[in-house]
Structure 1
Amino acid sequence: MFEFSLVQKIIIWAIPVLFAITVHEVAHGWVALKLGDRTAQMLGRLTLNPFKHIDPIGTVLVPGLLLLLGGFVFGWAKPVPVSYQNLHQPKRDMAWVAAAGPAANFIMAIIWAIVAKLGLMLIHADITLGQPMMFMGVAGVLINTMLMMLNLLPIPPLDGSRVLSSWLPGPMAYKFSRIEPYGFFILLGLLYFGILNLILWPLVSAMLGLLVSVFHLPAQIFSIL
């Protein structure tokens, strides 16, 4: 069993967390651009420079506290602005824009699983670079899987709520959107009472099980962090 100091954990998690939230937000802006809205592009948000997307609370404070407390690590960036009215078919296109973020996290989870697999191969070949690659790959899989599943929940302002809203009839979508000012407090309540973990853990476990099966990874590597 590996034991990590706080500094080591920060080093392992920093790059995967920054990439996870940055690419997630860029994906929203990129799909919005393809569907007619140039707002994110004009504001310089279609960049992988993490400093353009960092939210002091969601990108630094929350992941840092969760890392310190030993729980699941997740966070968020400054939302990429999307001008609804600029989209070709606003109601339909907003669902695609919203789904782009979790889709990006899914792709990144696969990429990080490949990194973890390569790290294991290097470890077996007794190459020093293998361990940091494996640890960072595992962290990347975990953070992206958590972000994907969290954002798919139909709680405003999470991406899943945008997708759901696009399917609802106009009056119902409007009533549903009025929950948004309370969405953050709903999430905090679910987290505090342990309900969020009960919802997310089966989904995360299923995703991890899929990656373990596809890439022939030892399941126990996901418990090392």
Structure 2
Amino acid sequence: MVHQNGRSERRISSVFLGIVAVMAVTGWAVWTGYAASPGLAVFLFVTSAWVVSLCLHEYAHARTALHGGDITVGAKGYLTLNPLKYTHALLSIVLPVVFVILGGLGLPGGAVYIERDRIRGRWRHSLVSAAGPLTNVAFAAVCTAPFWLDALDGVPVTFRFALAFLALLQVSAAILNFLPVPGLDGYGVIEPWLSHRARRELAPLAPFALIGVFALLWIPQVNQVFFDVVQAVLRTLGVSDLETYCGHDLYRFWLEQDGFCSVPTD
């Protein structure tokens, strides 16, 4: 019985598989140009792929915590990749999707509850926190692989734009997550190495610090600097500013499309 329960705790959920199916079907539609509305297909493909990456982000936290000593993550459903099992589905899924739709920003999620007292060793605590954003880094590497491998021959332009925008979301999420700000994973990486007094004084600031970061990003000058950094990273990976811009432009299919990003038709 214990063995069966253990297997059920780690069985991939049908919810996650459904999201992956949407990503696959809409990705095929973007690639083949089968969709009547390329913009809608890009929207559905990028959004579903973004949700998949959020699920993998949270799974990475939970899986690393499991190997670090927190055996409770399985019973909580975190190993099933089901986004409905998260402590705060609103923070982990809904708000990140809303931020993508409204501003093209990869907002970090974060709502798996790790019982830190079960984990021994500062390095293990740091690795649990780093595992999530490292997943975004890996996802960004996959999305940009055709660009930095110079393997774009035969890749439809619409699909290339979609990948470029999806890569932008992953890079922005990774950078934000790695900021050493209370409430973000970057702070979780360094927190075990701080003194007990420093951790105690910084802990109450976490909700306000997180809000402060997002408030700063709404300031045009700060937002510009942040996205300049994101674009600089993408350029080193072979993704041009025009490709990410056109990907974002296609994603917002409900707005008038920029003529620079017109998709060729047969």
The offset of 1:60, in angstroms, is: 2.9
Mapped to 1, the partners of 2:84 and 2:173 lie a distance apart of 19
* Map of 2:213 onto structure 1: 187
The amino acid that maps onto 1:164 is I
Bigger Cα Rg: 2
TM-score by length of structure 2 reads: 0.67
Match of 1:59 in 2: 93
- Of 133, 137, 152, 1:120 maps to 152
Cα displacement string for residues 9-34 of structure 1 (whole angstroms, at most 9, x for unaligned residues): 52132122112211111111111111
Alpha-carbon RMSD: 2.8
In structure 2, what is the Cα distance between the partners aligned to 1:36 and 1:192?
39
- The unaligned stretches of length 5 or more in structure 2 are 1-36, 249-266
22-31 or 169-178: bigger deviation: 169-178
* SS state at 1:208 partner: helix
| Mapping 1:75-224, distance limit 5 Å | 75-77=107-109, 79-89=111-121, 91-114=122-145, 120-123=152-155, 130-131=156-157, 133-194=159-220, 196-198=222-224, 200-212=226-238, 217-218=239-240, 220-224=242-246
Aligned length: 209
Q: Distance in 2 between matches of 1:66 and 1:107?
A: 19
Letter in 1 for 2:245: S
**Tell me, what secondary structure is at the counterpart of 1:43?**
coil
Residue identity over aligned pairs, in percent, reads 24
Q: CA deviation at 1:131?
A: 4.3
Measured after TM superposition, the shift of residue 82 of structure 1 is 0.6
**Unmatched 5+ stretches in structure 1:** 124-129
Question: Does structure 2 conserve the Cα–Cα contact (< 8 Å) formed by 1:55 and 1:76?
Answer: no
1:28 aligns to what? 61
Change (3 A) 1:112 1:149: same
Distance in 2, matches of 1:78 and 1:56, equals 10
Inter-partner Cα distance in structure 2 for 1:219 and 1:199: 14
Alpha-carbon deviations, 1:77-123, whole Å to 9, x = none?
Answer: 4511111110022x432211111111111111011113667983224
Partners in 2 of 1:80 and 1:57 — Cα distance?
Answer: 10
The TM-score normalised by the length of structure 1 is 0.78
